Amino acid sequence: MSTNAQLFERAQRVIPGGVNSPVRAFRAVGGTPRFISRAQGPYIFDAEGKRYIDYIGSWGPMILGHGHPEVLDAVQKAALEGFSFGAPTEREIELAEEILKLVPSMEQVRLVSSGTEAAMSAIRLARGATGRHKLIKFEGCYHGHADALLVKAGSGLATFGNPTSAGVPPEVVQHTLVLEYNNVAELEEAFQRHGADLACVMIEPIAGNMNFVRASIPFMTRLRELCTQHGALLVFDEVMTGFRVALGSAQSLYAKAIPGFAPDMSVFGKVIGGGMPLAAFGGKRAVMEKLAPLGPVYQAGTLSGNPVATACGLATLKQIQKPGFFEALSASTRTLVDGLNAAAKAAGVPFVVDCEGGMFGFFFGAALPQNYPAVMATDKERFNRFFHAMLDRGVYLAPALYEAGFVSAAHTAADIAATVEAAREAFKA
């Protein structure tokens, strides 16, 4: 049996950094990443045989837990029929119909293979549909690694963003404007200056890549008003929040709070694939018909609508629609965060926490952050110590301050109680 350390050393010889996605390398928290050998229900097991209560859930999609029997059965049957055809299947239609049934803001949807691909394609479509080039994103929101979206804030509203990655030429991001999340005044100024040139605004309604930061109701209300007024498309990135925070996704929560609210386009991933590589973007028919083969905006993919992935996603969506599913999931998540909060208070540790549906986040600080600078001001070193203390006690949290956590329907009351007990000990560490 190889140890985690041995596997990491071996991996670094053949894979850059030893991982195929950077956060897995534990660079933010230090130490050796755990190499996972298998998973079942709410648990993952590393190469050394140690079991962890899993609050990553493959970064969101495992809302039912790992190896749900009905999902597994659907995947096995689909695999026997064929891995990939490069031709349309009935299951693609069924999955599209299921998504549209649950998200009434969309009339048509295009299936792709990853959240990055979906966000990139949505921006291209927004530009093609409006005939404009510029877009707004928000600091701390992550929409995948497409060139136009790997952008940090410029020096001011007169200056557009600068690349955050080598290999992205400045001219590629010259049309991307980066604003502060939840800053209404900055938003209004940006539209005043650039409104006539804006194709779209892309936003995570609950930013899961700042850990867990909600867009406030006043901010979202004003954003919707400004997009409508200036003819820019409002694009909701629900790769993380979609079918995770509510059955109707995050947009359904804002629709309850803001009369008539709906985004113009939406981007989905994670849960709709059930752990398989699958994502989607969609919107009103008039916009979606701009896509090839009907319109001039080109987008294609050999594995789009893969028959095994669609089987997995369809089975997952059917399970989460069962009566009481989200009520139970939300109650479990609330029990967890309340327990963590109580344990922190008992230990005298500055700690704040928030949750929605099966998604949660916490910070070591006095108040819930509303934007990226506030997230950066929280106690990162304390988070790192807490992360390792929890890992040592068999609880697997995201190995970075900036990532949200996820509860699944497979987490039992005993799992959550064990997690809270581990936190009581870890807060003292």
Residues 260-308: tens digit of each pLDDT:
999 999 999 999 999 999 999 999 999 999 999 999 999 999 999 999 9
Question: How many whole angstroms separate alpha carbon 394 and alpha carbon 282?
Answer: 40
Same-domain check for residues 57 and 199: no
237 three-class SS: strand
- 399 and 375 fall within a common domain: yes
Q: For residue 421, is pLDDT > 60?
A: yes
Average pLDDT over residues 129-151: 94
Per the structure, the complete domain to which residue 96 belongs is given by 69-320
Provide the pLDDT for residue 257. Answer: 98
Tokens coding 260:
């008539």
Check residue 170 and give its pLDDT: 85
Q: Which of 237, 264, 354, 415 is catalytic?
A: 237
Better-predicted residue by pLDDT, 242 or 166? 242
User: Under a CB-based contact definition with an 8 Å cutoff, are residues 133 and 175 in contact?
Assistant: yes
Q: Same domain, yes or no, for 315 and 327?
A: no
Q: Is 52 noted as a catalytic residue in this protein?
A: no
160 pLDDT tier (thresholds 50, 70, 90): low
pLDDT tens-place string over residues 104-131: 999 999 999 999 999 999 999 999 999 9
**Same-domain pairing of 308 and 347:** no
Tell me the pTM.
0.96
**Whether residue 365 is found in the same domain as residue 316:** no
- If we measure between CA atoms, which residue out of 351, 400, 375, 352 comes closest to residue 140? 375
Query: What distance in Å separates the CA atoms of residue 77 and residue 99, rounded to the nearest whole number?
Result: 22
> Which residue in 134, 137, 270, 290 is the catalytic one?
270
**Average pLDDT value over all residues in the chain:** 96
Residue where a domain stops, chosen among 320, 338, 365: 320
Looking at the fold, whether 278 and 300 belong to one and the same domain comes out as yes
Q: Which residues, 6 or more positions from 156, have their beta carbon under 8 angstroms from its beta carbon?
A: none
In a shared domain, residues 58 and 93:
no
CATH of the domain at 22: 3.90.1150.10
- Shared domain for 304 and 413, answered yes or no, is no
Q: Is residue 351 a contact partner of residue 340, using CB atoms and an 8 Å limit?
A: yes
401 and 275, same domain (yes or no): no
- Can 254 be counted among the known catalytic residues? no
Would you list the DSSP string of 222-285? HHHHHHHHHTPEEEEEETTTTTTSSTTHHHHHHHHHSTT---SEEEE-GGGGBTBS-EEEEE-H
Is the pLDDT assigned to residue 155 strictly greater than 60?
A: no
Same domain for 156 and 293, yes or no, is: yes
Alpha-carbon dihedral of residues 333, 334, 339, 345, nearest 10 degrees?
Answer: 130
Task: Output the six-digit token pair for 256.
Answer: 């309850």
Residues 180 and 269 in one domain: yes
The domain that holds 154 is classified in CATH as 3.40.640.10
Structural domains in the chain (count): 2
Which one of 320, 341, 356 terminates a domain? 320
Is there a catalytic annotation at residue 237?
yes
Q: What is the pLDDT of residue 158?
A: 46
Task: Report the pLDDT value the prediction gives residue 156, as an integer from 0 to 100.
Answer: 52
Are residue 250 and residue 341 in the same domain, yes or no?
Answer: no
Segment 26-77, tens digit of pLDDT: 999 999 999 999 999 999 999 999 999 999 999 999 999 999 999 999 999 9
Poorest-confidence range of 23-37, 151-165, 353-367? 151-165
> What percentage of the chain exceeds 70 in pLDDT?
98
The domain boundary, picked from 293, 320, 347, lies at 320
Find the catalytic residue in 43, 52, 55, 142.
Answer: 142
